[in-house]
Structures are given as structure tokens and as C-alpha cells.
Amino acid sequence: MGNNKDVKYAGFGIRILAFLIDGAIFGSIFYALYIGFWKENEYVFSILLLLVLWIYFSYAISKWKATIGKKVLGLEVLDLKLKPLKLKQSTQRLIFSILTYTILFAPELSIYLFGKNMMLWLISILFMFIPIVMMLKSQRKQILHDYLAKTIVININREDSIVKGENSYSLRETKKITTLGLIKGIIVVIIVGLTGYYASAILGTVFVFSKIYTDKEKNYNDSFYTVYDTNDYNDSRIIFYNRELEVTSKEFIESTEKDDIFEYDVKKDLAQGCIRYFLKEHNATDKFSYAEGFRKNARNKYANTVEKIKKYKRNERYMGMLFYYYDFNAVNHIEDELVGIWADKDVVSQTCRKKKSINDIYKMFLGKYIENRKDALVGYDRDELNAREDGEPSKSYYQKEANKTKELIKRLIIKNTDNDQGVE
């Protein structure tokens, strides 16, 4: 069976070499197809590419037990009983391999899909090691798609192939197929080149992200000691909401309870939103950066010592950690409804244009926000009914989310109104 002492399972290093060889060959085929068909008919190109992919990585393995890269290095793909794969099983292995390589190339995919997000990139680096660690820890040295497809890769280390049959090749025959030194020499050059390319790409990416993170952190720290250019246009409304912004910034720094931090974070947003709205009326060239300047100046007026800067950073990080708890997507949507530059004029006439205090606008926000959370609660209850105990997400997940939402609604009602409306 698969644990036979005579079987030599292919290790990580030699499989990487085989992958690089196959990658170079398949990459050449891909490029030829791209040049020949992409501009003419992308659908034909896609179909031909999938067909070549299947022939190279599925049919070849079922027919000859190896791709060209594996054949060159004396590797064979077999089932757990050391038998050649049937076409169905080799096709399944190909499909599962897409999952493996998606995980292995997760860092590159992260950059492509989400841009320069340092946190997601670091998480993708951790995911990248899952198939590798699985292979290194596996007795049969199975990578993820081998485990799912119930296959193994062996290294033929004897004169005769381990598997007997009409499709078996001896090691001597395998070497003849490669035409010995010439082809192997070319392969070594390809391997070294590709290895160098990927190594430099990974190191370059690490360097770029490190520099971006360092520069971003430095700019953030420097912002506490910078006075930003602003223009209130001598508009009493902008002056009024700037004072409101300063008051709420001071309270934000001094707050220690999460609901208080949330309240003053929202109030800062509302005050800044009104300032931005009036800057738009004055046709400010860059109303967004000007409004952000008002916000940072208000912050810096009170975050004026090392200790207070630490407090501000702590509360700002805390709100970031509670993004999903408070559902800041919903928060931002409600804020835009009340004080956004594209908000309904009838609504803004009852908020910013009326010079309503930020405390009063916050009460309007809170009414809408609590209704939003109640709607979310109904959704959790509905999803809990449809979920299975062992499902993903499970019933217990929706129960926990519903309970957290109930507690949040209760706390906000008790904190901000005289009588508890209660939550069923």
C-alpha cells in the first residue's frame, strides 16, 4: 500500500522543480495561444486554453502517470494503492490543484484584488504556507490536492518502475526520453531563471509593502504636529460646526467606554460632514481635504501631549477593531443621509442648514441607527431558523450575533433616552 517501505515519496524540493518546468512549458503554450487567438476571439482562446490545461495536467497523468516536468525528474502520480490514475481521478486532481495554487499564490492575488492592503497581504502570506506545511507534515508528502484527490507522487529510485503494466517506464527509459544532457541543461537554466524571478518578485513585494507601511505610519505620526490650511470663508455655519468638532474631538480623546468612543466618533463625522457641505456651497477646490484639515486641526488642539496622542490613537484603533460590531458601513450610510454633500436638501435643511447642534443631529442619527440594528436583528433571527447546527455559519453563530445586537440596542437606548423602550 501507500506506506510500503519500498516507496520513495517525492519531496517538496523536487516537486517545486517539476512545477517550474511544467510552468515554463505551459506558459509558452499559453503565450502562443494568446498571440494566436486572444485578439481574434477570446472565447476560442479560453476554450483552447482549458483544453490544453486538461490534456497537459489531467490526460497526460492518466496516460503516462506524469507531466513532462515530472517525467524529466523521474516522478509518477499514482493512487493510494500505487496504481495509475483513471481519467476521472486525474481530472479531479486537476480541479483540486486549482485550490492549492490559489492558496500558494494568495499574496499576488491579494495585491491584484485588494490593492496595497498590508493586513490582507500578511494574512495571505500565512495562507500560502498551508499547503506547504501540510506536505511537509504528511507521511506520504501529499500536498492539498493530493490529499483531496487521494493521490501520491513517488520518486522512482530503482531501475524498474514500482508500478508494472503496459504504461510503465523504467528509469533508464525515462532518461532516454529527456535526451539527457542537452534538455536537462536547458531545464536547469529555465529553473534557475524562474527561481530567481520569483525570489526577486517576493523580496521586492516585501520591500515595497514594508516601505509603504513605514511611510504611512510616519505620515500619521507627523500629522499630530502639523497645522493644516483651512478656510472658513467667514461663514458662521462653518465656524459653528468647527467649534462643535473641537468639542467632540476633546470628548473622543477622554472617552474610555466603547459606546462613548463610538458616540463621539460619530459626532466628529457629523460635524465634519456639515463643514464639508458648506465648503461645497463656497465651491472650495478640494472640499474633502479642507474638511479633513478642520478635523485634524480640531484633533491636534487637544491631542497636544504625548499622553493625549496615545489616547487618541488607542481609541481610533479600538473603533477599527469594532468595525463589524457597530457595522460602520451602516453608520457611514446614515451619516451621509443626514449631512452628506449629496444628501437630500429637505433633510439637510433640518440638520446643517438649521445650525442644529451636533448633539441634536446625533439623536436623529441614533433613531435611524437603532432601527437599522433592529432590521439586522430580524435578519439574524431569520438566518438562524434556516441554518443547520453543523452548518457554516451555524445556528450558534447567528444566535451570538443576535445576542450582541440586542445588547447593543439596549445599551444605546438606555444611554441616550430617559425611558427604556426594551428589545424583544
pLDDT digit string (tens) for 95-149? 998 888 888 777 777 766 666 667 777 787 787 788 878 888 888 888 888 889 9
Grid cell for residue 173: 527509459
Domain co-membership, 244 together with 380? yes
Examine residue 77 and state whether it is found in any structural domain, yes or no.
yes
Domain co-membership, 246 together with 160? no
pLDDT band at 1; cut points 50, 70, 90:
very low
Examine residue 44 and state whether it is found in any structural domain, yes or no.
yes
Domain co-membership, 252 together with 198? no
Per the CB < 8 A criterion, the answer to whether 209 and 121 are in contact is: yes
Using CA atoms, how far apart are residues 67 and 171, in angstroms rounded to an integer? Answer: 15
pLDDT, tens digit, 9 for 90 and up, residues 20-57: 888 888 888 887 777 777 666 777 778 888 888 888 89
Domain co-membership, 202 together with 264? no
Structural domain count, the chain: 2
Q: Which domain holds residue 346?
A: 236-416
Examine residue 5 and state whether it is found in any structural domain, yes or no.
no
Domain co-membership, 257 together with 378? yes
pTM: 0.55
Examine residue 251 and state whether it is found in any structural domain, yes or no.
yes
Domain co-membership, 187 together with 267? no
State the alpha helices, DSSP H only, in 142-257.
144-149, 171-177, 180-223, 236-254
Using CA atoms, how far apart are residues 347 and 124, in angstroms rounded to an integer? Answer: 43
Residue that has been written with the C-alpha cell 441554518 in this structure: 387
Grid cell for residue 273: 460632514
When computed from its CA atoms, the radius of gyration of the chain, rounded to whole angstroms, is 31
Per the CB < 8 A criterion, the answer to whether 155 and 14 are in contact is: yes
End-to-end CA distance of the chain: 61
